[in-house]
Structure 1
């Protein structure tokens, strides 16, 4: 799902707009569980980002941990 958001100011009589991509409910549930596991193992979570091309969530934690969460909620450790 994508949400179009208008920023609250105008510049040179133009409004500025960006598109935000919201994660699915399945992705949010999996993200919560995996973030809990990572912090329970004392791994710092450095980055959580949605890939705008594939709509996957990417998590970078610790020194070498990369996890991808697909829109259906399934995940893969890389």
Structure 2
């Protein structure tokens, strides 16, 4: 099994987001049984990227308001303020 195009593009966006936040990427793994990508980053951020290109945090990270704003703008395509 190979990653889908949507999944591959989402992985690039997530990795770019992490890089923009100066977070090291410690592990990047494609599970060929489940078809999911697992990303482990600095501060123990854990992210799953699903085959449809959607992604989510496995754990709820402690992010500053600025970091959260930047992540949401990448996830949704437009910024959302809380």
Per-residue deviation at 1:71? 0.4
The TM-score normalised by the length of structure 2 is 0.66
d(CA) in 2 for partners of 1:23, 1:53? 11
Q: Do residues 24 (structure 1) and 4 (structure 2) align?
A: yes
Per-residue CA deviations over 1:21-40 (Å, capped at 9, x if unaligned) read x2110011100111001011
Structure with higher strand content: 1
Per-residue CA deviations over 1:25-69 (Å, capped at 9, x if unaligned) read 001110011100101100001111111221100001112100000
d(CA) in 2 for partners of 1:43, 1:26? 23
The TM-score normalised by the length of structure 1 is 0.69
Q: Do residues 43 (structure 1) and 23 (structure 2) align?
A: yes
Match of 1:9 in 2: none
| Runs of 4+ off more than 2 Å | none
RMSD: 0.9
Secondary structure (helix, strand or coil) at the match of 1:63 reads helix
Structure with higher helix content: 2
d(CA) in 1 for partners of 2:27, 2:7? 15
